Amino acid sequence: MLQAISTLAILGLVARVLCDDLQDSLYGTWTSKSNQVFTGPDFYDPVEELLKEPSLPGISFSFTEDGYFEEAIYQVEGNPKDPGCPLAVIIYQHGKYDIQDNGTLTLTPFAVDGRQLLSQPCEDDGVSVYSRYNQTEVYKWFLVQENDYHGIQELQMYKADGSPMQPMYLAYRPPMMLPTETLNPTAASETSASNSKSKRSLRSLVRRSLENRHKTNAVKRSDSFVHSKIFKWASVGLIGVGSVIFLVS
């Protein structure tokens, strides 16, 4: 009996250690290959209630060490029947995340803060629909590893059904995020004065976030794709020059 209890205790300790390691590996801001979508104040302005359209579609997730997340999604879906009528959606959410013992990652957003901008130009007369968005997300598993080609950390997340998402690459560590608290409180009991005070407080937090972006010790790795291509073609060029010299000599 004591041996069984001891074994369970050891297994529980191992599971906690593994979860801590997984949480440490998630820490930072990750972005997809388009390298144009990042979490933080450049994607969503909660003071002005403004979602900012990136130049290219993509996704970005940020994770803190103490259990908070933020996501920025910009997706465009073509219309095979009418190429001039694509569907585009921009989504912002943030909240808390949890990693279970089996490695499942659950993102639980602050319900009042999520936002969505939906564009269907052939159905909405060119007027996009801006609305609240609240969707708890469950990922069956995730993997952090070094990408051999780009030489940077890669995050591969798997949906609840086990299908892989597009991979993301480490962009900032510490992460580039908005304040990890409710940004748009909507309690009915709030007075207009308290709403105004909350708005001013939020504005100062967002402004401080913007001012501190270049003071953080986060390491932006967004140029790694460019560097890897430069190294690749530089190597090819050197090989070619060496071959010519060898033939001439």
The CA-CA-CA angle for residues 219, 138, 181, to 5°, reads: 55
Name, in order, each residue with C-beta under 8 angstroms of 107's C-beta and a sequence gap of 6 or more: 69, 71, 93, 95, 96, 97, 136, 137, 138, 139
Has residue 192 got a pLDDT over 90?
no
Question: CA 232 to CA 148: how far, in whole Å?
Answer: 13
Domain ranges of the chain: 2-238
Question: CA 76 to CA 34: how far, in whole Å?
Answer: 13
**Are 146 and 129 within 8 A, CB to CB?**
no
Scanning the structure block, which residue is given the tokens 């319900």? 111
At 48 the three-state DSSP class reads coil
Structure confidence by residue, pLDDT tens digits, 21-60: 778 899 999 999 999 999 999 999 998 889 999 999 999 9
How much of the chain is in helix, strand and coil states, percent to nearest 5? 30, 30, 40
Supply the pLDDT for residue 150. Answer: 78
Has residue 64 got a pLDDT over 90?
yes
Report the DSSP beta bridge partners of residue 75.
89
Name, in order, each residue with C-beta under 8 angstroms of 58's C-beta and a sequence gap of 6 or more: 31, 32, 33, 34, 35, 36, 37, 74
Structure confidence by residue, pLDDT tens digits, 112-163: 999 999 998 877 777 889 999 999 999 999 999 998 887 899 999 999 999 9
Q: Specify burial of residue 40 (Cβ count, 10 A radius: 0-12, 13-18, 19+).
A: buried
Supply the pLDDT for residue 177. Answer: 96
Structure confidence by residue, pLDDT tens digits, 75-112: 998 877 777 788 899 999 999 999 999 999 999 999 99
Is the Cα dihedral 178, 179, 181, 185 positive or negative?
negative
